[in-house]
Amino acid sequence: MNASTKPIISGDLLKFQPFINYESILCTYFPDSNLKINAACMGVHFTPTDEVYIHAYANTHTRDLLSKGVRFSINFSEDFFEYVMAALRRKDHMNFIDELPRSAFIITESIPILKSAWVILECEVLDLPSSLIDRPVCKRREVPNIRAKVLSKNIYRLPQVFNNRSFNLSLEALILATRIPLYERYSDFYNDAIRTYNIIKKKIISWRDMDRFHAAYEVIDNYLIENGVEPQELSFF
Amino acid sequence: MNASTKPIISGDLLKFQPFINYESILCTYFPDSNLKINAACMGVHFTPTDEVYIHAYANTHTRDLLSKGVRFSINFSEDFFEYVMAALRRKDHMNFIDELPRSAFIITESIPILKSAWVILECEVLDLPSSLIDRPVCKRREVPNIRAKVLSKNIYRLPQVFNNRSFNLSLEALILATRIPLYERYSDFYNDAIRTYNIIKKKIISWRDMDRFHAAYEVIDNYLIENGVEPQELSFF
Ligand SMILES: Cc1cc2nc3c(=O)[nH]c(=O)nc-3n(C[C@H](O)[C@H](O)[C@H](O)COP(=O)(O)O)c2cc1C
Ligand SMILES: Cc1cc2nc3c(=O)[nH]c(=O)nc-3n(C[C@H](O)[C@H](O)[C@H](O)COP(=O)(O)O)c2cc1C
């Protein structure tokens, strides 16, 4: 319940380090209806001139929706449950909206934004001429396929969770969970990912810190099981 | 070069989530001389009434120095190199100051603070009556052994690096590096820690993101080798 209030300080004070990755939740309307919102976890990179570069994999809503002229928000939230909902897709995700409840959003005219976020950037998709694809040497393997400009930066509060190992490791666990269903069962990649996923859960339990993540890991565990992981491969708590 | 300027916004706007862990760098003067500064990576927990709880292991300067009435600063910086320097102790650390160059600090009367930090909390150590040790149910295994009150919160800028996997994983790698020398060579703990340390380095390299961490990992690698790890156990870049 932050973004419902006024910005606390000028957005110009927010300086991103250029070309490094920031994990965020992107939100945008589906073009057919203002009532349907897409939310997706995506890494974003900034240039020194406030452009944004994104690499969205094929088969994501984000890749389909963010065409030239479309507006979207980049939300920095600390609500791990929202990251989970924005990252895990249903099997039938191209037909259904798999995202957050409407109450999680503030509905502005052209852009939906997340109430839980401490910073919200309003953006508009630009062309990505092939001459630019390799120009902003973003620090990731994949070249970007979406370019946008930042229209405004809004700071609704100071961050509340930072330098927190449980939160950071949970993002790693979530990324693993998005990948596990894509790996061949019992391949080295699969086994390593399951192992690391379980190690992270056990660490958080041993730190007595699972209470604030419990509901989120239940969703992730169920997602993995629906996607072919055997319940006994996951360590329960 | 932030803390040399004025706070940008009231420190009251900074709300910590109670009892969760924040990784920070603690700085304090040695009592014998205002010219000697100790800097140490430490997890800190806050209560809703702005008290701070810390668990400092035996054999740390922090444990020795933070006795009742002593003032210290909690610094939230995004300079990984500084975390490394504040975490890795020399073999002869009880005799030498193993910390950062003086130019990294602003020297105030009673408390040294880190220039690179975006938030600095000035604190004073309180008693820790045994009746309180288990009261603030901090989310970590070890019960706290240092209690302090926050005298002031100073926000010198907005954070610049957040939700960044390379930075977060580097903190994990650093924690592993502080532990590896304590494990029995080639025990399961040792092997797992070395393996995870190498995986993190390789990930950051594969993200083309090592340039900003290179100097820091060189220090960590050398520290590990000085502490008995064979060079060929570490993957070089
Ligand atoms: C922290 C995090 C970062 C992610 N970054 C990306 C990314 O940069 N690009 C991408 O295509 N998917 C990324 N994903 C996976 C997507 O969130 C996932 O595929 C999601 O279902 C896409 O949602 P959409 O179909 O609504 O666009 C990330 C997931 C997490 C948890
Ligand atoms: C991210 C991080 C967090 C740490 N947290 C703690 C802690 O909570 N307690 C502790 O005793 N040591 C902790 N350490 C290890 C200390 O930083 C390390 O022992 C250091 O040498 C102590 O410095 P000092 O002797 O100057 O106090 C941590 C290290 C890292 C990298």
List Cβ neighbours of B11 (8 Å cut-off, separation of 6 or more): B152, B153, B154, B155
Sorted by where each starts, the structural domains of chain B and their CATH numbers stand as 11-155 (2.30.110.10), 165-230 (no CATH)
The pLDDT of residue A72 is above 90: yes
CB contact under 8 A, B22 and A158: no
- The Å distance, Cα B231 to ligand 2 centre, comes to 24
CB-nearest partner of A20 from B76, B155, B164: B164
pLDDT at B103: 87
pLDDT at A3: 55
pLDDT at B197: 97
Percentage with pLDDT > 70 across chain A? 92
Q: CA distances (Å), B139 to each of A204, A207, B44, in order?
A: 9, 6, 10
Reported as a single tens digit per residue, the pLDDT across A129-146 is 888 877 777 777 788 999
Least confident range from A24-28, A57-61, A121-125: namely A57-61
CB contact under 8 A, A163 and B24: yes
Residue A29's DSSP bridge partners are A37
Compute the distance between CA of residue B154 and CA of residue B75 in angstroms, rounded to an integer. Answer: 10
pLDDT at B3: 55
Closest CA to A165 of A123, A128, A125, A213: A213
Testing ligand 2's pocket by substitution, the residue of B178, B200, B213 carrying the most ligand atoms inside 8 A of its CB is B178
Nearest CA in chain B to A208: B139
The pLDDT of residue A54 is above 80: yes
Residue B175 CA neighbour count, 13 Å, CB half: 12
Reported as a single tens digit per residue, the pLDDT across B181-227 is 999 999 999 999 999 999 999 999 999 999 999 999 999 999 999 99
Name which residue leads in pLDDT, B60 or A95. B60
The number of residues making up chain A comes to: 237
Reported as a single tens digit per residue, the pLDDT across A180-215 is 999 999 999 999 999 999 999 999 999 999 999 999
Reported as a single tens digit per residue, the pLDDT across A174-184 is 999 999 999 99
Give the closest ligand to the alpha carbon of residue B169.
2
- DSSP code, position A64: H
- The Å distance, Cα B171 to ligand 2 centre, comes to 11
CB-nearest partner of B158 from A14, A163, A207: A14
| A48/chain B closest Cα distance in angstroms | 13
What is the atom index within ligand 2 of the atom nearest the CA of B43? 8
The pLDDT of residue A1 is above 50: no
CB contact under 8 A, A15 and B158: yes
pLDDT at B2: 54
- Residue B11 · residue B74 · CB < 8 Å: no
- Evaluate: CB of A170 within 6 angstroms of ligand 1: no
| B71/chain A closest Cα distance in angstroms | 22
pLDDT tens-digit profile, chain B (237 residues): 455 578 999 999 999 999 999 999 999 998 876 678 899 999 999 999 999 999 999 989 999 999 999 999 999 999 999 999 999 976 655 444 557 888 899 888 889 999 999 999 999 999 998 888 877 777 777 889 999 999 999 999 999 999 999 999 999 999 999 999 999 999 999 999 999 999 999 999 999 999 999 999 999 999 999 999 999 999 764
Closest CA to ligand 2's atom 5: B42
Least confident range from A6-10, A216-220, B34-38: namely B34-38
Give the closest ligand to the alpha carbon of residue B65.
2
Mean pLDDT across A203-230: 94
Q: What does chain B look like in DSSP terms, one character per residue?
A: --TTS--SB-GGG--PPTT--EEEEEEEEETTEEEEEEEEEEEEEE-TTSEEEE---TT-HHHHH--TT-EEEEEE---HHHHHHHHPPPTTTTTS--S--GGGEEE-SS-EEETT-SEEEEEEEE---HHHHTSS--SSSSPP-EEEEEEEEEE-S--SS-S-HHHHHHHHHHHHHHHGGGSPTTSHHHHHHHHHHHHHHHHHHHTT-GGGTHHHHHHHHHHHHHTT--GGGSPP-
The pLDDT of residue A97 is above 50: yes
pLDDT at B158: 97
pLDDT at B216: 96
Residues of A in contact with B162 (CB under 8 A): 22, 76, 159, 162
The pLDDT of residue A109 is above 90: no
Closest CA to ligand 1's atom 7: A42
Mean pLDDT across A80-85: 95
